[in-house]
A and B are shown apart, each in its own frame.
Chain A
Amino acid sequence: AQKITQTQPGMFVQEKEAVTLDCTYDTSDQSYGLFWYKQPSSGEMIFLIYQGSYDEQNATEGRYSLNFQKARKSANLVISASQLGDSAMYFCAMREVYNFNKFYFGSGTKLNVKP
């Protein structure tokens, strides 16, 4: 079974609007970490936000927030006030506590921000 599922291959959003990118995960561990990365066309993967499985509050970093619903095993990324520079691929990833070096990545969502 896939560890990370991103069901939206591509998304469009109007500039200045908010957008939610979906991510569901599969693990039997109680302790794990969830990450979101952005990959512009240049290729570099840029870390955006982290949520620990024991964190009670949803993580926020500037315009990025993570809508963490543990019971549903979902970790959706919310980008508020979209900007043209947000157009990129976005990857959700998970790391389980028993293997700190092993990250599972989803297949990504291509976000296009329209002016």
Chain B
Amino acid sequence: ETGVTQTPRHLVMGMTNKKSLKCEQHLGHNAMYWYKQSAKKPLELMFVYNFKEQTENNSVPSRFSPECPNSSHLFLHLHTLQPEDSALYLCASSQDRRQTGNTGELFFGEGSRLTVL
């Protein structure tokens, strides 16, 4: 079982649809992230949750709505998206303990490739 699992892997939706991306981590981490990766652009941090509390919202439009019911699950609810929202959406987790030996690196899922028509 992989550490961070994302579903669906591919999603095609119209601008009026409502869909959700799901992320689940099996690593016992307490921080979870959504990143957006568009062609030829650096990874863009969207949201961070730490112990289920949102600690970062990087000026993301309200048509993206995150939900973190527990430390293992993270959702990204999508509605009335635009074609420019087409991208690879990556979920990640990390262990947020500032202790010696813990590098706190991000563990990523394989991503959800979203196409908005």
A residues adjacent to B (C-beta < 8 A)? 4, 33, 35, 37, 42-47, 50, 52, 91, 93, 95, 100-103, 105-108
Whether the Cβ atoms of A100 and B98 lie closer than 8 Å is yes
Q: Which residues of A contact B43 (CB under 8 A)?
A: 91, 105
Binary contact track B38-52/A, C-beta < 8 Å → 1, others 0: 001111010010100
Q: Which residues of B contact A43 (CB under 8 A)?
A: 88, 90, 110-111, 113
B residues adjacent to A (C-beta < 8 A)? 31, 33, 40-43, 45, 48, 50, 55-56, 88, 90, 92, 94, 96, 98, 103-111, 113
CA gap between A42 and B112 in the complex, in Å: 11
CA gap between A50 and B96 in the complex, in Å: 16
CA gap between A108 and B88 in the complex, in Å: 15
**Can you name 14 extra interface pairs (CB under 8 A) apart from A95-B104, A101-B50, A101-B94?**
A4-B42, A35-B103, A43-B88, A43-B111, A44-B108, A44-B109, A44-B110, A45-B90, A45-B92, A45-B106, A100-B104, A102-B48, A105-B43, A107-B41
Q: B50: shortest Cβ distance to chain A, in Å?
A: 6
CA gap between A103 and B31 in the complex, in Å: 13
